Amino acid sequence: MKFYFNKRVLIGFTITMLVLLVLGVYSYMSTQRLMDSASLESHATRVVNTAERVVKAMIDMETGQRGYILTGNEDFLEPYYDASANIGHYLDTLDSLTDKHSAQQPKIDSLRVMVDYQNHWIQNVVALRKTGFAEAQAMVATGQGKRNTDAIRKAIKNIQDTEMQLFRSRSTITDSSVQQFQYSFVGLAGVMMIIVAYLFYTINVTLGARNNAERELVTSLKNTRDLYDHAPIGYHSLDANGIFVEMNQTELNWLGYSREEVIGKIGFRDLLNDQGVKVFKEAFPEFMKTGFVSDLEFELIRKDGSVLPVILNSTAIRAEDGTYIKSRSTVTDNTDRKKSQDRILDLNRELEGFTYSVSHDLRAPLRSIIGYATILKEEYYDKMDDEARRVTEVIIRNTVRMGQLIDDLLDFSRLGRKQVSITPINMREVVESIVREQTEEIKDRKLAVKILDLEPAKGDLAMIRQVWINLISNALKYSSKKDVSEIEIGSYRKDGKKIYYITDNGAGFDMKYADKLFGVFQRLHKMNEFEGTGVGLALVKTIVKRHGGEVWAESKIDEGAKFYFSL
Amino acid sequence: MANAAEILLVEDNPNDAELAIRALKKNNLANNLLHLEDGQEALDYLYNERNEMPKLILMDVKMPRVDGIEVLRKLKSDDKRKIIPVVMLTSSKEDKDIIEAYNLGVNAYIVKPVDFDQFVKAVTQLGFFWMILNQPPQLNKM
């Protein structure tokens, strides 16, 4: 479109220039012709006028002669003398004016002869009048003088006509040629006007389109700029030296700087405290390698010296040859999140302090109760009756159980705060070692434990171990009343997840209570049937959840249970 | 008066102390035992030049005035006293206490079982190991 437009304008102007050139040349030539014609015309006029003078001089000569003949007064001869003196001069002029014209020259020569003859004849008549009026009158009466005059008039008329004819034949300017010139001029001027008008129109239309496009561009730029500046997130760009080349208004407001104070003036480093520098030193190699960093948490120093907790994401912009040009970053105000985080940390610390004192202070008295009750049982055995011994046993058993509950509860609460550190886990090895440990203690029971191939997993080894410990010990515990404890442990893949399971042929449970199975301190069996605190499966659930998996179970009363968990 | 206790039991809870002493006595390990009631007392004893250094220190973690961790820190950063075996005997299963104690150079860390029989077993085994099996470096009067 642009090329097309430029080409059209170029062609338009070229045509206009050509037309102008043609008009100019044409006008010049026409003017030249007009000037030539004018000079030819003035020459012809001079010839005609000079010829006229010859005629007039001849008439003067004749008039003077006639007056003298009639009166005999010599004064009347005055015009005759003047005219006869001038007429030669006029003839010379005529001669020189027509010297380039071969057709006129013989006519001038013959005119000169005729004039001389007439002059001669007049002199004769004047001489005769001096003798007497009658003789002169007789000579005039011959009509010779009149014939001479007529002949001269005729010759001059002929010369004049020839000259005019000559002028007309030489002059190229005619009415029609003038008209033709006018038409051509108007025509060319018209063409030029059309072209200029067309050019004007084309340029105008294109300029209009350009103006519109420019306005749209400006509007869109304004919108983009507005979005950039006032988005509820900080944006900035740094050059290769870490100097700010751009920063949006939001971030400027957060930091308390004006644009002029930042752009090209200060570097990112200037806004960091020691902790921030450390964060960036650690993140920089990764940034140069991968071209981006995500969710860096640190603090920016405001102009007034206060700090702004932020989260930063950054992308490297490289040239085609891979050299680092600049970085583009988004900055999120982390104040609120930081506050919540601090609050959570505080709460966690409180909880930690609480569990610490629970673990310490709650267990100590229990130990004393059991300790002293045991002393009673052992050292005062003889002094107690059966009921006293039974009661002492109950005290000890319940206190031990309370100690167990406290320990399990602490384990459970500790688990929620523990960091999950992911490593590859050889599940089969883990399961085999746990089964070995647990069956060691119950050698007297008949066991049929089948461990199938298990998918290797990724997770926190200690936690996943705890899951298996709890599930395997449950399976052993609840199948302990069967003649043979049959346990199978296996795994399979489903929908990209690894699913592990353990089945037993134990007491099972009523599916009605399946939702209570994994709750803390929830038990589906009586204490005197199977021991336990009801924390084991809750722990399993918490651990699996923290690994992003699910845990569920299937069972029928007295037909065993099947526990699943996915990772 | 110069003391020459072989075992120093640092424990603020008198019942726990009594039970521990009973457990050790049952196995004839408490003949030369001195019970101190908090960390400050332990430091006072250990930094009294006239006292002979014990062969073993059994110490609770949580105590008033100066706690067990603090005493441990002091002893293990002291060239003369860091060779005394220190066993932390505590109710607490808290990881951070265990980690800190080991970082400071504790020789063993025992979580006192609630069950008295297990407690007796644990304390007895400890006594046997450190007092009879373990070969300590020659400790001179400091």
Q: Where do the domains of chain B lie?
A: 7-131
What distance in Å separates the CA atoms of residue A249 and residue B11, rounded to the nearest whole number?
Answer: 63
pLDDT at site A1? 52
Is there a contact between B9 and B39 (Cβ–Cβ < 8 Å)?
A: no
Indicate the pairing of strand A446-451 with strand A292-301: unpaired
In chain B, residues with a C-beta closer than 8 Å to the C-beta of A533 are none
Are A108 and A11 within one domain?
yes
Distance from the Cα of A362 to chain B's closest Cα (Å) equals 9
Are A179 and A321 within one domain?
no
Are A67 and A171 within one domain?
yes
Sign of the CA dihedral with A280 first, then A282, A284, and A289 last: negative
In a domain, A192, yes or no: no
In a domain, A259, yes or no: yes
Distance from the Cα of A459 to chain B's closest Cα (Å) equals 20
Sign of the CA dihedral with A370 first, then A374, A375, and A380 last: positive
Domain end (from A316, A333, A350) = A333
pLDDT at site B141? 47
In a domain, A154, yes or no: yes
Is there a contact between A357 and B62 (Cβ–Cβ < 8 Å)?
A: no
In a domain, A205, yes or no: no
Per-residue pLDDT of chain A (567 residues; tens, 9 = 90+): 555 777 877 888 888 888 888 888 888 888 888 888 788 888 888 888 888 888 888 888 888 888 888 888 888 888 888 888 888 888 888 888 888 777 888 888 888 888 888 888 888 888 888 888 888 888 888 888 888 888 888 888 888 888 888 777 777 666 777 787 788 888 888 888 888 888 888 888 888 888 999 999 999 999 988 998 998 999 999 888 889 999 999 999 999 999 999 999 998 888 999 988 898 888 888 888 888 888 888 899 999 999 999 999 999 888 888 888 888 999 999 888 888 888 888 888 888 788 777 777 788 888 889 889 988 988 898 998 999 999 999 999 888 888 888 888 887 777 777 778 889 999 999 999 999 988 888 888 888 889 998 989 899 998 999 999 999 999 998 888 888 989 999 999 988 889 999 999 988 888 888 888 888 777 777 777 777 777 888 889 989 998 889 999 998 888 889 999 998
Are A75 and A163 within one domain?
yes
In chain A, residues with a C-beta closer than 8 Å to the C-beta of B16 are 364, 367-368, 371
Strand, coil or helix: what is A322? coil
Neighbour-count burial of A199, counting CB atoms closer than 10 A to its CB (0-12 exposed, 13-18 middle, 19+ buried)? middle
What distance in Å separates the CA atoms of residue A395 and residue A373, rounded to the nearest whole number?
Answer: 7
In a domain, A194, yes or no: no
Question: Comparing C-alpha atoms, which of A154, A161, A164, A153 is closest to residue A55?
Answer: A153
- Rounded to 10°, the helix A105-131/A144-170 angle is 160
Domain end (from A303, A333, A363) = A333
Is there a contact between A46 and A62 (Cβ–Cβ < 8 Å)?
A: no
Q: B-contacting residues of A 143-182, CB under 8 Å? A: none
What distance in Å separates the CA atoms of residue A83 and residue A152, rounded to the nearest whole number?
Answer: 15
Question: Comparing C-alpha atoms, which of A257, A263, A260, A256 is closest to residue A236?
Answer: A263
Q: In what order do the strands lie in the sheet containing B7-10? A: B33-36, B7-10, B56-59, B86-90, B108-111
Contacts of A91 (CB under 8 A, 6+ apart): A54, A108, A111, A112, A115
What distance in Å separates the CA atoms of residue A467 and residue A285, rounded to the nearest whole number?
Answer: 38
Are A80 and A159 within one domain?
yes
Q: B-contacting residues of A 359-418, CB under 8 Å? A: 359-361, 363-364, 366-368, 370-375, 396, 399-400, 402-404, 407, 410, 414
Which residue's structure tokens are 């040009």?
Answer: A325
User: Which ipTM was obtained for this model?
Assistant: 0.76
Q: Choose the closest CB to A368 out of B15, B92, B117.
A: B15
What distance in Å separates the CA atoms of residue A177 and residue A189, rounded to the nearest whole number?
Answer: 18
Residue with the larger pLDDT of the pair A292 and B92: A292
Q: Across the interface, do B119 and A364 touch by the CB < 8 Å criterion?
A: no
Question: Comparing C-alpha atoms, which of B95, B46, B100, B48 is closest to residue B70?
Answer: B100
CB atoms within 10 A of CB A414: 16
Are A452 and A347 within one domain?
no
Q: Which of B15, B22, B100, B114 to mutate to test the interface with A (most CBs of A within 10 A)?
A: B114
Are A522 and A428 within one domain?
yes
Contacts of A497 (CB under 8 A, 6+ apart): A549, A566, A567
**In this structure, which topology does domain B7-131 adopt according to CATH?**
Rossmann fold (3.40.50)
Are A385 and A427 within one domain?
no
Are A274 and A412 within one domain?
no
Is there a contact between A211 and A238 (Cβ–Cβ < 8 Å)?
A: no
Residue of A nearest to B120 (CA): A371
The DSSP-derived string for B56-116 is EEEE-SS-SSS-HHHHHHHHHTSTTTTTS-EEEEES---HHHHHHHHHHT-SEEEEPPSSH
pLDDT at site A234? 92
Residue of B nearest to A397 (CA): B115
In a domain, A203, yes or no: no
Are A297 and A352 within one domain?
no
In a domain, A200, yes or no: no
Residue B137 has pLDDT above 70, yes or no: no
pLDDT at site A3? 58
Percent residues over pLDDT 90 in chain B: 6
pLDDT at site A313? 92
**Residue-wise burial string across B76-100, b where 16 or more C-beta atoms lie within 10 A, e elsewhere:** beeeebeebbbbbbbbbbbeebbee
Domain end (from A315, A333, A351) = A333
CA distances from B47 to A422, B9, B36 (A): 47, 16, 14
Distance from the Cα of A400 to chain B's closest Cα (Å) equals 6
In a domain, A392, yes or no: yes
The rounded mean pLDDT for chain B is 82
Residue of B nearest to A366 (CA): B114
CA distances from A135 to A125, A126, A138, A141, A369 (A): 9, 10, 5, 10, 202
- Rounded to 10°, the helix A363-379/B14-26 angle is 40
Are A51 and A148 within one domain?
yes
CATH number of the domain at A280, please. 3.30.450.20
Q: Across the interface, do A367 and B117 touch by the CB < 8 Å criterion?
A: no
CATH number of the domain at A488, please. 3.30.565.10
Residue B142 has pLDDT above 50, yes or no: no
Q: Choose the closest CB to A370 out of B62, B92, B115.
A: B115
Are A540 and A394 within one domain?
no
* Boundaries of domain holding A126: 2-184
Q: How many domains does chain A have?
A: 4
Contacts of A29 (CB under 8 A, 6+ apart): none
At B32-89, the pLDDT tens digits run: 889 998 888 999 898 888 888 888 899 988 888 888 888 999 988 888 888 888 888 8
Contacts of A409 (CB under 8 A, 6+ apart): A358, A520, A535
